[in-house]
């Protein structure tokens, strides 16, 4: 209603002398929506001018003009109320935003203070560790020092002291981010040019990982022996160890195989941080849920700017833009569900450290949706079974594609192990072979009732066996619940198919 065109038409028709109402209406419509104070002033002026015009002689002689101005005055009052509401809402939102910004700043300041304290503590721990290693080197064999090892990812934390006590355990818990997994304290000595850490049993990779911890902490590579294992002997087999470790985790499914390999890849790669010719390396995880040490975040931001043209400010702060850039980079690597986390020695870090140019991102998996089979009929049952196997073959293939894409940047030895585990998925199709379709076709083509009944009984037994297999095989459930976002629907497709085939067998048996 607050429209200058409508007022111009009325004023012209009844020859009403404008008192500034036209200018007020035009000005109001040209104001920005968020210019609340100006709009309040303008709409108040419109109401006052409209009320004043209602008393003019040329208006009083025209009931239509009086009615228009009364309506305009009412509309101005209503608009004034609406503008006031919008102003109050905007002020409330601005106050909330300012409060949130203030809280964010206080939180960031607290985090910065915490990081500064951590860095100070880590600096003190570094000096303590170097001092202790020197003391161990000069200690007498009959007066060894002790060590405490805290298991953490990607590297353990090790503390050396003359006598381990409860305060040392608390120190490592804090430094490791809260890990409470400790090995039993043992003696550490310096013999035959090695720091020898006593252990009741050999732990594969322990010497290499302890050496990696000291190197990341101090920048120096100390010769380490853990139990009977030397770090130098383990370095050659680091990647192989990670691949073999995945087998010990029962990685029989796509999710299980990839998850186990991924966990071991972190341990295997942690002692050999990815480094490019440009010097890219990180000492701890960066990104969503990472340790996010300032120098590591700066290294990642610099690498993303160079490798992916991310346009990040290299400030050492892992904020939303940095995490988004990590996820975007992971997507170009083929991770269809990026986690925004870069771990030492893992695929994303390896890709950032690599010198090869980035190719186009792979196409996402395209699984086939569950088919609709309709009513179960014996002459169509063989095709139903073949269709089901085709859907399974396609969707399992798409899942394999997703797994390969997810881990494409990992160590070649690990990739080989993943491929070996993925072959196990083919066991489902091997188990659910084409024999059922052959038996169904045989029953449908039986020359007489007796032959048909015998063939149907054989088909029924096979269907029952397949139903039991589908219900009991955990691999099928693991495939359907894969973490790669591939909707395989194996169990549903098999259940629908076997139900349809059972219906066809039952109907034909009754008809006979």
The per-residue DSSP string of 221-259 comes to: ---EEETTEEHHHHHTTHHHHHHHHHHTTT--SHHHHHH
Kindly report the three-state secondary structure assignment for every residue of 361-382.
CCCCCCCCCCCCCCCCCCCCHH
Q: What pLDDT does 399 receive?
A: 93
Task: Mark whether 229 and 263 lie in a shared domain.
Answer: no
- Whether residue 110 lies inside any domain: the answer is no
Q: What is the mean pLDDT of each run of 10 residues along the chain (512 residues)?
A: 83 87 88 88 90 86 87 89 90 86 72 48 77 91 88 87 92 84 92 88 86 88 89 58 36 40 35 47 91 94 92 94 94 88 88 80 90 93 96 94 86 82 90 95 93 94 95 92 90 96 93 74
Question: Is residue 126 domain-resident?
Answer: no
3-class secondary-structure state, position 307: helix
**Coil vs helix vs strand at 15:** coil
Q: Is the dihedral of CA 391, 395, 401, 404 positive or negative?
A: negative
If asked whether residues 444 and 500 sit together in one domain, one would say yes
Q: Which helix (H) or strand (E) holds 126?
A: helix 63-138
Backbone angles phi, psi at 80, to 5 degrees: -60, -40
Domain of residue 210 covers 138-236
* Alpha-helical segments (H) within 139-199: 166-175
Same domain as 255, residue 231: no
Say what the pLDDT of residue 359 is: 74
- pTM, two decimals, is 0.46
Which stretches within 139-198 are classed as H helix? Answer: 166-175
154 neighbors 270 (Cβ within 8 angstroms):
yes
In the prediction, which pLDDT does 140 show? Answer: 83
Is residue 94 assigned to a domain?
yes
- Tell me: do 11 and 85 sit in the same domain: yes
Residues 265 and 319 occupy one common structural domain: yes
Last residue of a domain, which of 191, 212, 236? 236
Q: Classify the phi-psi angles of 177: left when phi > 0, otherwise alpha if psi is within -120 to 50, otherwise beta.
A: left
For 139-235, where are the alpha helices, taking DSSP H only?
166-175, 206-218, 231-235
Residue 244, in any domain of the structure: no
Q: Alpha-carbon distance 312 to 169, whole Å?
A: 39
Residue 242 within any structural domain of the chain: no
Q: Are 284 and 355 in contact (CB under 8 A)?
A: no
Q: Quick check: is 114 in a domain?
A: no
Q: Of 46, 73, 100, which marks where a domain is finished? A: 100
- 172 and 213 in a single domain? The answer is yes
Between CA 225 and CA 236 the distance in angstroms is 15
CA pair distance 213, 23, nearest whole angstrom: 77
Residues pairing with 226 in the sheet: 197, 229
Same domain, 494 and 395: yes
Bridge pairing between strands 194-197 and 224-226: parallel
> In terms of DSSP bridges, do strands 286-287 and 341-342 run parallel, antiparallel, or are they unpaired?
antiparallel
> What's 190's DSSP letter?
E
As a whole number of angstroms, the distance between CA 151 and CA 236 comes to: 23
Give the Cβ contact number of residue 24 at 10 Å: 25
**Whether residue 283 sits in one domain with residue 187:** no
154: preceding bond cis by omega (within 30 degrees): yes
pLDDT reported for residue 247: 35
Q: Which of 100, 116, 148 marks a domain boundary?
A: 100
Task: Confirm whether 365 is domain-assigned.
Answer: no
CA distances from residue 229 to 37, 103, 208, 235, 266 in whole angstroms, order as listed: 77, 51, 9, 11, 20
Same domain, 161 and 231: yes
Q: Are residues 222 and 259 in the same domain?
A: no
Rounded to the nearest 10 degrees, the angle between the axes of helix 238-247 and helix 254-270 is 150
Shared-domain flag, residues 232 and 255: no
Residue 193: CB atoms within 10 A of its CB come to 8
Domain-located, residue 133? no
Residue 150 in 3-state DSSP?
A: strand
Per the structure, the count of domains in the chain is 4
pLDDT at 234: 62
- Indicate if 389 and 497 belong to the same structural domain: yes
């Amino acid at each position: 209603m607050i429209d200058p065109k409508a007022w111009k038409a009325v004023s012209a028709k009844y020859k009403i002398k404008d008192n500034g109402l036209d200018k007020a209406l035009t000005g109001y419509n040209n104001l920005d929506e968020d210019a609340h104070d100006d709009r309040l002033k303008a709409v108040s002026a419109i109401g006052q001018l409209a009320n004043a015009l209602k008393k003019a002689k040329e208006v009083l002689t025209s009931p239509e003009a009086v009615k228009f101005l009364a309506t305009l005055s009412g509309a101005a009052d209503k608009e004034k109320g609406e503008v006031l509401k919008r102003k109050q809402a905007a002020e409330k939102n601005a106050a909330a935003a300012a409060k949130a910004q203030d809280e964010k700043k206080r939180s960031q300041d607290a985090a910065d203070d915490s990081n500064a304290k951590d860095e100070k503590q880590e600096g003190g721990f570094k000096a303590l560790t170097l001092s202790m290693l020197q003391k161990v080197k000069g200690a007498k064999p009959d007066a060894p020092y002790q060590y405490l090892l805290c298991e953490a990812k990607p590297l353990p934390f090790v503390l050396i002291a003359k006598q381990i006590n409860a305060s040392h355990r608390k120190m490592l818990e804090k430094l490791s981010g809260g890990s409470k997994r400790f090995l039993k304290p043992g003696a550490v000595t310096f013999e035959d040019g090695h720091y020898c850490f006593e252990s009741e049993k050999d732990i594969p990779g322990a010497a290499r990982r302890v050496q990696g911890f000291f190197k990341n902490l101090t920048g120096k590579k100390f010769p380490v022996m853990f139990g009977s294992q030397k770090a130098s002997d383990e370095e050659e087999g680091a990647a192989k160890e990670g691949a073999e470790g995945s087998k010990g985790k029962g990685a029989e499914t796509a999710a299980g195989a990839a998850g186990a390999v991924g966990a071991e890849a972190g341990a295997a790669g942690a002692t050999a941080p990815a480094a490019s010719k440009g010097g890219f390396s990180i000492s701890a995880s960066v990104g969503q849920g990472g340790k996010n040490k300032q120098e590591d975040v700066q290294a990642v931001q610099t690498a993303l700017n160079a490798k992916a043209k991310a346009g990040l400010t290299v400030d050492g702060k892992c904020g939303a833009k940095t995490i988004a850039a990590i996820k975007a980079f992971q997507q170009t690597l083929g991770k269809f569900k990026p986690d925004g986390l870069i771990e030492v020695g893992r695929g994303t870090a390896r890709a950032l450290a690599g010198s090869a140019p980035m190719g186009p991102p792979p196409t996402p998996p395209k699984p086939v949706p569950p088919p609709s089979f309709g009513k179960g009929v014996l002459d169509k049952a063989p095709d139903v079974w073949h269709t089901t196997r085709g859907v399974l073959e396609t969707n399992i293939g798409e899942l394999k594609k997703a797994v390969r894409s997810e881990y494409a940047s990992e160590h070649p030895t690990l990739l080989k192990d993943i491929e070996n585990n993925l072959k196990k998925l083919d066991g489902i199709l091997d188990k659910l072979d084409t024999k059922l379709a052959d038996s169904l076709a045989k029953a449908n083509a039986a020359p007489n009732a007796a032959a048909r009944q015998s063939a149907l009984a054989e088909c029924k037994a096979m269907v029952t066996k397949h139903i039991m297999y589908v219900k009991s095989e955990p691999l099928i459930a693991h495939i359907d619940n894969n973490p790669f976002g591939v909707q395989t629907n194996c169990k549903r497709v098999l259940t629908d198919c076997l139900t349809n085939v059972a219906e066809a067998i039952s109907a034909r048996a009754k008809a006979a």
